[in-house]
A and B are shown apart, each in its own frame.
Chain A
C-alpha cells in the first residue's frame, strides 16, 4: 500500500482588507493610477500650505480692524464675522429686538428638525406647525403685548431665508400634488390646463416670476389692496416651485402599478379615496430623493429675492459690509461664512433624504 505524502498547505491568501492592500489597490493599482496619485499629491503639497496659511495660521480671529488691515493679502480676517454677525444673520431688524428673530427662527428650525424624526410623527405635529407659524409671525411682526411693531421691510437675514424656504415649500406641495393629479386626469380640459401651467412656468426663469410678484401683482389685484411685498414674493416662489414639484410627483404617480388602482376600485374606493389612501402614499414615497432635490433648490433659490430688494442672508451680507468702509475689504470672508451656512443646510437635507431611502429599503425587505 502506497503512502501518499501530503501536499504542503497552500499559503494563506493575502489580506485584501488591510490598509496597505487598500493603498496598493486604490492609489497605486497600475501606472496611470500611481501617476494620478502622485500628481494630485504634488498639487496638494503646493497648494494646501498656502490655503492653510490664509484660512488658519495667518488669519485674524479678533474683530480688530487694524490687525486685519496688517494681515491683508496673507491671512483671512475672520474678525469681520465676529464684528458683523448680527447684521449678516438678522439684516436690518432693529437691534434691541434681536432676541425675537433668534427665538422665532429657533422655534421654526426645531420644528423642522422634529418633523423629520419618526418618533414625532403623530397627531400633535399639525397643531404644532400651526402654533409655531403663529408664534413666528407674532414674534417677527410684534405690535402687541408691549412688543414694538417691526414692518416686514426690516425683516432680513437667516430668519427670512428659513421662513421663505419653509413656507413656500409648504404652500407649493399641495398645489404640486393637484397639478400632477390633474396632468394625469381623464378629463382633457383639466389635463391640458395643468400641462400648460407646468410647462409655461418651467420655461421661464425664477427672476421673471419675482419681478412679476414685485411689479405686477399689485396691478392685478383690485385697486386699494396692496398685499405686503414679502407675501407677494412668497406666493411667487410657491407658484414657481409647484410646477417643478408637480413633475416630480407625476413621476411618482407613474411608478404606481395600475393594479393598485384596480385593487382600490374593487374594494369600492372612490377616485379621491383611491388617490389619497392608495396612490399618493406610494407615489410620494417613491420620489423622496427627487422631492428633496426640489426642496434644496427652493432653499437655494430663496437667495434670489435679493434682486427684488428683500434682504435675506445673501442680501444682508451685502448690506452689512458694502456700506462700511472699514470692513468692506473683507467681503470674501463674509461670503465664506454664508457659503458655509448654505452648504450645511443643503448637505443636511440631502443626508436626510439618503436616510429616508435607507429606511424605505429596510421596510420593503421581508
Chain B
C-alpha cells in the first residue's frame, strides 16, 4: 500500500513538473513571438552546405538539409568506427607485445590520447591540416594519384564510360590532376572531414586498445598453454584460441565505444564540418525554432544509439558462449 502511494506520488510529481515546463514554454514562446510546429522543415534552406553526399543547394528544403547533415554524420561515424577498430586493435595487441619498446610506445599512445579532451584534439588536427600542409598548387602527391594539401585529399575514382552502368569494359579510373585552379578530377575529402575522422578514430582507438587488451588478458592462461601444447604457433593461438574467447568479453564494451564515437561526432560542429548538429545549429539561428531543432538532434542520436545497440546485440548473440 505504501509502495503504491510512493509510486503514485512520484508519477504525479513528474507529470506536474512536465506540465509546468510545457506551460512555461508556451507562455514564454507566446510572449517572445516564437512560432512552433514542424512546418518550417518545408521552407527553403537559404544556405549552402560545404560537402554533401546527395545533391543540395540553397533552394532546397530544410528537411533535405537535415538529411544531408545526417548523411555527413553517418559517413564520419562509419569510417571512424572502422579506423578506430583497426588502430585500437593494433595498439591493444602492441600493449601485450613481448617487446618492451613497443609496449612502452603503445602505452604512451593510450595515455596521451585518453587524457586530452577530444575537442582539443579535433582543433589540433584541423589546425595541422589547414596550416601546415602545402597549398594545393604545391600539393604532396603520391604517384600522381593521391594529392594531399590544404584543400584536402584528392584520390582516383572509378567512373562509368559512355555506356552507363552496364558497360563494364568502359569503366575506368579518373585520376585527379593539378590544374590552374587547384586539383581537379577524381574524388576529394575536405580537410574538415579528414580532421574529424582522424581525431575521432585516434581518440576512440585509445579506448578500444584498452578494451582489446582487457579482453585478451581475460583469457585464462591455461587456454594458451593448451594451445601451445597441441603445437599451435603464437599467431595461430591468437587467431584460433585467444581471439574468439576474447571477442566475447570485448564486444559489449566495444559497442559502448562505437556509440561514444557516434555521439562524439557531434563535436564536428566546432571545426565547421557540416554534420547534423552543425546544420541544426544553422537552422536554429535562421528560424529560431529552438525546441524543434534540438529535438531533431536528440531524436536522431537516440535512434542511432538504439540502432547500433540492437545491431551489436544481434552480433553479440552470435559469438556468445553456446551452452548446452
- A and B: partners? yes
Contacts of B34 in A (CB 8 A): 219
B294/A211 in contact, CB under 8 A: yes
B7/A189 in contact, CB under 8 A: yes
B115/A189 in contact, CB under 8 A: no
Stretch with Cβ within 8 A of A (4 or more), from B135-143, B158-166, B244-252, B300-308: B300-308
With A218-B28, A219-B290, A342-B115 as contacts: A211 and B99 at CB distance below 8 Å = no
With A219-B25, A296-B115 as contacts: A188 and B131 at CB distance below 8 Å = no
Residue-wise interface mask of B (262-305) relative to A, using a CB-CB cutoff of 8 A (1 in contact, 0 not): 01101101100000010001001000001100100110011001
Q: Which of A40, A207, A222, A338 contacts B277 (CB 8 A)?
A: A207
Query: B170 within 8 Å of A by Cβ?
Result: no
Query: B310 within 8 Å of A by Cβ?
Result: no
Q: Give the distance in Å from the alpha carbon of A306 to the alpha carbon of B124 in the complex.
A: 15
A204/B124 in contact, CB under 8 A: no
Q: Give the distance in Å from the alpha carbon of A331 to the alpha carbon of B14 in the complex.
A: 48
Residue-wise interface mask of B (99-141) relative to A, using a CB-CB cutoff of 8 A (1 in contact, 0 not): 1111001000001101111111001100110011000000000
Residue-wise interface mask of A (1-44) relative to B, using a CB-CB cutoff of 8 A (1 in contact, 0 not): 00000000000000000000000001101100100110011000
A200/B263 in contact, CB under 8 A: no
Q: Which of B97, B115, B302 contacts A343 (CB 8 A)?
A: B115
Residue-wise interface mask of B (12-27) relative to A, using a CB-CB cutoff of 8 A (1 in contact, 0 not): 0010000001001101
Query: B31 within 8 Å of A by Cβ?
Result: yes
Q: Which of A33, A207, A307, A343 contacts B98 (CB 8 A)?
A: A33
**Range class of the B interface residue count:** 35 or more
Question: Shortest Cβ distance from B202 into chain A, in angstroms?
Answer: 13
Mostly, the A contact residues are: helix
B277/A190 in contact, CB under 8 A: no
Query: B11 within 8 Å of A by Cβ?
Result: yes
A303/B120 in contact, CB under 8 A: yes
Query: A145 within 8 Å of B by Cβ?
Result: no
A331/B127 in contact, CB under 8 A: yes
Question: Shortest Cβ distance from A231 into chain B, in angstroms?
Answer: 17
- Nearest B residue to A191 by beta-carbon distance? B7
Question: Shortest Cβ distance from A232 into chain B, in angstroms?
Answer: 13
Q: Which of A26, A208, A296, A303 contacts B266 (CB 8 A)?
A: A208
Contacts of A203 in B (CB 8 A): 301-302, 305-306
With A40-B101, A219-B290 as contacts: A187 and B277 at CB distance below 8 Å = no
Q: Give the distance in Å from the alpha carbon of A222 to the alpha carbon of B3 in the complex.
A: 33
Question: Shortest Cβ distance from B252 into chain A, in angstroms?
Answer: 12
**Range class of the A interface residue count:** 35 or more
Query: A301 within 8 Å of B by Cβ?
Result: yes
- 47-85 of chain B: CB within 8 A of chain A: none
B119/A303 in contact, CB under 8 A: yes
B3/A223 in contact, CB under 8 A: no
A215/B24 in contact, CB under 8 A: no
A220/B27 in contact, CB under 8 A: no
Contacts of A300 in B (CB 8 A): 115-118
A303/B117 in contact, CB under 8 A: yes
Q: Give the distance in Å from the alpha carbon of A173 to the alpha carbon of B86 in the complex.
A: 35
Query: A363 within 8 Å of B by Cβ?
Result: no
Contacts of A347 in B (CB 8 A): 111, 115
- Nearest A residue to B30 by beta-carbon distance? A223
Query: A350 within 8 Å of B by Cβ?
Result: yes
Q: Which of B10, B28, B105, B116 contacts A223 (CB 8 A)?
A: B28
Q: Give the distance in Å from the alpha carbon of A314 to the alpha carbon of B11 in the complex.
A: 41
Residue-wise interface mask of A (336-366) relative to B, using a CB-CB cutoff of 8 A (1 in contact, 0 not): 0011001100110010000000000000000
Query: B145 within 8 Å of A by Cβ?
Result: no
A222/B301 in contact, CB under 8 A: no
Q: Give the distance in Å from the alpha carbon of A36 to the alpha carbon of B106 in the complex.
A: 13
A211/B14 in contact, CB under 8 A: no
Query: A216 within 8 Å of B by Cβ?
Result: yes
A211/B124 in contact, CB under 8 A: no
Contacts of B112 in A (CB 8 A): 343
Question: Shortest Cβ distance from A317 into chain B, in angstroms?
Answer: 9
Query: A258 within 8 Å of B by Cβ?
Result: no
Question: Shortest Cβ distance from B10 into chain A, in angstroms?
Answer: 6
The 3 tightest CB contacts between A and B, nearest first, are: A346-B115, A189-B7, A26-B100
Beyond A29-B98, A219-B290, A304-B119, 13 additional contacts (C-beta under 8 Å) are A26-B98, A26-B99, A26-B100, A186-B3, A190-B10, A205-B263, A216-B294, A219-B24, A306-B270, A314-B123, A332-B128, A332-B132, A347-B115
Listed by A's residue number, 20 A-B pairs whose Cβ atoms lie within 8 Å are A30-B98, A36-B101, A37-B99, A189-B10, A204-B297, A205-B297, A207-B267, A207-B269, A208-B266, A208-B277, A219-B291, A220-B24, A221-B24, A221-B28, A222-B24, A223-B27, A300-B117, A300-B118, A335-B124, A342-B120
Residues of B within 8 A of A (CB): 3, 6-8, 10-11, 14, 21, 24-25, 27-29, 31, 34, 97-102, 105, 111-112, 114-120, 123-124, 127-128, 131-132, 263-264, 266-267, 269-270, 277, 281, 284, 290-291, 294, 297-298, 301-302, 305-306
